[in-house]
Structure 1
Amino acid sequence: MPDWQMLNRADHAALRLSRRIDTPRHFAQIVADEFLKAAPYYPILFTKHPETGAFYAGVVMGLEPGRNLLSADGALRDYRPADLERQGFFIAEGQVVIDREHAAFAKDEGAALFEATGEATPALKRVQQALHTLDQGLAATDAFIRRLLDHWLLEPIDVAMQFDNGQSVQLDGLYTISLDALHALPDEAVLALFRAGDLQLAYAQTTSVRHLRTLGRIHNDRLAAAQ
């Protein structure tokens, strides 16, 4: 069961935060402001929330649940999405709350959250920035996705991979932006998307899909190494 506590120096001065907890995460939600930071490293795709059916964006880091193909020693080597950076931390009624039972809070390793002076350490500042990124970015990302849907720009993407040992993987429920549909829009619609900053995000997302091949290669190499 989660152990929710309001973050404060008096109770959590000795708490240490580990970043080596990314291995089980094969998918992480991102907001629109992260697209340009994430696109050089991860496939960005859209999926639907299982309960609400609402679309959201995320990065794919593995081909099966519980296995991150891009982490090394438990941590990502490149851009770390805010959803991962803030693991164990939440916002409740405007205050930072932690789940003391979360794996992010290491017992014998990791970085302190508070300086001796009581100020936030760089580790905690990264978490605070991640929480801010998500808090400010979720609504803007929902609006971006609504504009895509208004123009029928999202389409399912078929991700089927066959590996040298005969294993196959099929990723379902993922969507990408259709460049064909985008390029077929009337000029006034394209101009509106451009002025909203959507075109830059659309091209970053569609270009990032090429990283699926990287994930497939890594998965194939690990299967071969395990034989």
Structure 2
Amino acid sequence: MANTALLNNVTHHQLKVITRFGAEFGDSISSALVFPTEFIELQKEYPILFRQHPETKKYQATVLLGLSQNENLFLNSSAPSGWAAHYIPATVAKGPFLIGMQHQDSGNSNIPVIHIDMDHLKVNNENGYPLFLEHGGNSPYLEYIANVLKTIHQGIAIQDAMFTLFSELDLIEPIDIDIDLHNGEKRRLLGNFTIHEEKLMELGGDQLERLNKLGFLSLAFAVITSMTNIRRLTDIKKSHK
């Protein structure tokens, strides 16, 4: 269980976080939860897929990082960050940080605040990037983390509406992904969903306008476009052999 604390520049002034990615930090994951707010960046490097929660039946978006359990094909010790891609999914990039909600008496509302898992493998007082500047203020790294958490927070706020409209327009379809690694090894990935391209193209003007006004039309096309990255994954896996 995470040992979380509300981040502050007094208690945690000396705290540092290792920003590299690697198996030793628990980054050997074959998929990662993602949000609509990052689809446009994700589509350039990862296959974006939908998964359905077994109990609630709600859809969630994920990106495929590997073709086997606990396989992350983007981990690369030769890359400066240890991750061989330009964009890193927000749920991975956030590292030990979490979003929390704090009650604001003056406005009688809750505001998002940053929490940190003090037991996380990347958190220490000796190695990594500082969270606060020597004479006060947030470090550039902490500002980056704040933007990462904002991406998650805003994504959570719109994802249900996006999936509701996709479902209403019958745009979500199941997809079985068959992978041939050209060495006799074959893989089939089950339980995923994607956007039905033909049905999207058949939508009428009013339906397309609804999608577009809400900002979901470009996201639907991003999901479709991202599927070409499955070949990239197979190429990376073959290069590791």
The normalised TM-score by structure 1 is 0.89
Task: Report the equivalent of 1:15.
Answer: 15
Letter paired with 1:44: I
Unpaired runs of at least 5, structure 2: 103-112
C-alpha displacement of 1:89? 1.2
Q: Residue 106 of structure 2 aligns with which residue?
A: none
| Aligned counterparts of 2:236 and 2:35: Cα–Cα separation in 1 | 26
Q: Distance in 1 between matches of 2:2 and 2:207?
A: 47
User: Which of 29, 36, 39 is equivalent to 1:25?
Assistant: 29
- Aligned to 2:194, what secondary structure does the other structure show? strand
Structure 1 match to 2:237: 219
Which of 111, 117, 124 is residue 129 of structure 2 equivalent to? 111
Moved more, 190-199 or 104-113: 104-113
**Higher mean C-alpha deviation, range 99-108 or range 132-141:** 99-108
Contact 2:37–2:154 (Cα < 8 Å) also in 1 = no
Match for residue 105 of structure 2? none
User: 1:139 and 2:157 equivalent?
Assistant: yes
Moved more, 214-223 or 9-18: 9-18
Structure 1 residue 172 and structure 2 residue 172: aligned?
no
Q: Return the letter of the residue paired with 1:13.
A: H
Q: Alignment partner for residue 86 of structure 2, among 78, 85, 97?
A: 78
- 1:19/1:75 contact within 8 Å kept: no
Which residue identity lines up with residue 16 of structure 1 in the other structure? Answer: K
Matched, 1:187 2:205: yes
Deviation digits for residues 145-173 of structure 1 (CA, Å, limit 9, x no counterpart): 11000111011122111223322222121
Deviations 1:104-160, CA, capped at 9 Å, x for gaps: 325653211111122111111111111111112212122111100011101112211
2: CA distance, partners of 1:49 / 1:137: 17
Question: Which of 189-198 and 142-151 deviates more?
Answer: 189-198
Please identify, of 59-68 and 100-109, the stretch whose mean Cα deviation from structure 2 is larger: 100-109
| Matched residue, 2:176 | 158
For residues 48 and 100 of structure 1, the distance between their equivalents in structure 2, rounded to whole angstroms, comes to 32
Deviation sequence 1:158-207 (CA, Å, 0-9, x none) = 21112233222221211110111112223321222122222211111101
Residue 191 of structure 2 aligns to a residue in which SS?
A: coil
Give the Cα–Cα distance (whole angstroms) in 1 for the partners of residues 5 and 174 of structure 2: 41
Q: Distance in 2 between matches of 1:107 and 1:144?
A: 41
Q: What is the rounded CA distance, in whole Å, between the counterparts of 2:52 and 2:84 in structure 1? A: 25
Question: CA contact under 8 A between 1:21 and 1:104: conserved in structure 2?
Answer: no
2:38 to 12, 34, 39: 34
Residues 4, 99 of structure 1: 8 Å contact kept: yes
| Greater helix proportion | 1
- For 2:70, the equivalent position in structure 1 comes to 66
Deviations 1:78-115 (A, max 9, x none): 11222112121112233321111112325653211111
Normalization by structure 2: what TM-score? 0.85
The percentage of aligned residue pairs carrying the same residue is 31
Of 77, 83, 102 in structure 1, the residue corresponding to residue 120 of structure 2 is: 102
SS in 1 for 2:95: coil
